[in-house]
Structure 1
């Protein structure tokens, strides 16, 4: 992320002055903590930094409203986690598209794609695999997947999120 001083210099006229300074102070106070939390979630320093950058950018774009919130730090963390979840969903969508876009008559491509999916899912625990396949590939809700697996819907969501994070980490290697 560009330094916040550079952001203040490039901010629209109405954003300069005390608003830009207060965002800069907020950024300096919160960046390290948000980055550290994201690093623990993603287990990847680069991914954590990219997510933190995107979250701060989203706050910067809405700073005129966010600064007046009772807890702008909470809004920052929620934004960062939403960015992280969105990236996980995009990974799952890419996986579904890879499986669905195969020509029906191309047996070699189908075998290769299935092999790629099997290899991508291999490092996951059996429960993570099941949760991911049921929710992301088959499109079941977490409640329906929970009934299938005999667990609560919240457990399915946790397992699927962990599976997405592991898949994303594997794709970055």
Structure 2
């Protein structure tokens, strides 16, 4: 073994990533497969390091990994495409109004609403997660509900009077 694994890795990682990046058109994917190929080489470096072309071995492993990932993702996309209905309706005006009203809430109140109503957490659990008292969470929820009720009532009145949403 003429070259240490660390030296070999340092000398060739960037070049292999550039090659795989060109082939995959995805930098993160290229980095992942090259890293995985080096991990596989490291586990058997006593043998791979003595090959006539250890870089070629690592390059081939990286390309094989990239091709396998591509095939798996292509298969998964085909499967998912067959599972989707022909057309998915977009959100209705009520959902758009709710999303807009939630976006106007202060972040702490919006987080409390999401954790309580969407994640199903109790006020005590939210308090622990946010590092505040239970009464503070109850206050956030009370204020958020009041603001949402007012905001959504205004949206409904505008719709009833023919104003744009």
Scaled by the length of structure 1, the TM-score of the pair is: 0.45
Mark the structure with the bigger radius of gyration.
2
